Amino acid sequence: MYSYKQKISQNSKKMTTGGSRLWVFIPVLFLSTAIAFVFLRRGVAEEIKVEVVKDEYLETLKPTEIRKEPLALIKEESDFPPELIAGSAGIIVDADNGKILYAKEADNKMPLASLVKIMTAVITLEHKSLSDYATVTAEADAVGENEMGVSEGEAYTIEELLYGLLLNSGNDAAYTLAENVAGSSDEFIRWMNRKAQELGLKNTGFFDPSGLDDRSYTTAADLVVLTEYAMRHKEFREIVATVEKELPYSGLHKYLYLENQTNLLTTYPGVIGVKTGYTEEAGLCLSTYAENSGKKLVGIVLNSIDRKGDMIIMLDYGFSRYGIIVEHHLLDIF
């Protein structure tokens, strides 16, 4: 049996040996930690650097099935009757080959009101999936004027918001999409202008995603190119051809009923969209796409007092250039 003093002596030796090992281990541990920290800092720094220079616009552009070359307009006639329409500017173009069938002041820069939302929809479709969700911000909820009817804190799919954007011309939908797609409305506007450059829209500039800001400008010629490009997107075509849409109540948002604003969808034969616009500065504006007897026409009228009447006249004129008579009684005077 060991004596009490022997046990203390043995324990002291163990503590001394363990302490020596501990003093050796501590510097090694410190050195390893320092090296790891340096490498970790380098890795984080590199990752942050990549995030800073990353170009979200290029990374998320995804219209792989869309023909990217914009429609090239072909002008073959210069003596179109300017008195044909009441609007300040208008154009009708063959959507297949770009041939201008009618034009009035088509190169004049003018405000375009909610026709801005055509570009808003294009940017959204090229950067997000329809099934993605977007949350309504306080800024979007407070925009005012034409509304889809969303409220701060609600969440909608991109598809639902696009219906509200293009049917009801919802400014709240426009800002919800902008802020969720690009991170901010300012960044989204930069993307809009970048896309305009890619499409060769040299006389077009955007200042907001909704069209409320009358500093946004375009020409009838530029806008017809943008509209034709937008119609290449299957999802866009389906939405603008919709007369009414119900969004059922869910745990994420309220029930909403959406209805296509004044257009020629249910009246002029062959019309399949696209969009209306109005501000006091821009006047009544309309973008329309129609197909009859295999001919596809896209038209724009800006600053009109009778956008539907002007578009009907231009469509009739355009189709007649191919010997196509569209039967309707929309211009009958009783």
Q: What is the CATH number of the domain that holds 183?
A: 3.40.710.10
Crossing angle of helices 185-198 and 171-182, in 10° steps, is 90
Contact between 75 and 103 under an 8 Å Cβ cutoff? The reply is: yes
Residue type at 113? A
Residue 189's SS3 state is helix
Beta bridge partners of 317: none
Contact between 73 and 171 under an 8 Å Cβ cutoff? The reply is: no
Contact between 223 and 110 under an 8 Å Cβ cutoff? The reply is: no
Would you state the pLDDT for residue 109? Answer: 98
Residues 77 and 50 in one domain: no
The residue among 291, 299, 300, 301 whose CA lies nearest residue 322 is 291
Do the domain assignments include residue 8? yes
Do the domain assignments include residue 62? no
Residues 123 and 28 in one domain: no
Contact between 222 and 238 under an 8 Å Cβ cutoff? The reply is: no
Residues 142 and 191 in one domain: yes
Would you state the pLDDT for residue 79? Answer: 84
Residues 44 and 96 in one domain: no
Would you state the pLDDT for residue 51? Answer: 36
Residue type at 219? T
Residues 198 and 236 in one domain: yes
Do the domain assignments include residue 326? no
Residue 214: which residues within 8 A CB-CB, separation 6 or more? Answer: 111, 113, 279, 281, 282
Would you state the pLDDT for residue 36? Answer: 45
CA distances from 175 to 93, 120, 172 (A): 31, 9, 5
Residues 145 and 258 in one domain: yes
Contact between 68 and 201 under an 8 Å Cβ cutoff? The reply is: no
Q: How far apart are the first and last CA of the chain?
A: 127
Do the domain assignments include residue 113? yes
Residues 40 and 172 in one domain: no
Would you state the pLDDT for residue 42? Answer: 43
Active-site residue list: 114, 117, 169
Residues 108 and 21 in one domain: no
Contact between 193 and 178 under an 8 Å Cβ cutoff? The reply is: no
* Phi, psi of 280, rounded to the nearest 5 degrees: -60, -35
Q: Which domain holds residue 30?
A: 4-54
User: 133-135 and 155-157: which strand pairing?
Assistant: antiparallel
Structure tokens given for 20: 């020596």
Q: Is 275 annotated as a binding residue?
A: yes
Tens of each residue's pLDDT in the chain, 334 residues? 444 344 434 444 444 444 444 444 444 445 555 444 444 444 433 333 333 345 678 555 566 678 888 999 998 777 899 899 999 999 999 999 999 999 999 999 999 999 999 999 999 999 999 999 999 999 999 998 889 999 999 999 999 999 999 999 999 999 999 999 999 999 999 999 999 999 999 999 999 999 999 999 999 999 999 999 999 999 999 999 999 999 999 999 999 999 998 789 999 999 999 999 999 999 999 999 999 999 999 999 999 999 999 999 999 999 999 999 999 999 987 5
This prediction's pTM? 0.82
Structure tokens given for 232: 């290449």
Compute how many other C-beta atoms are within 10 angstroms of the C-beta atom of residue 117: 29
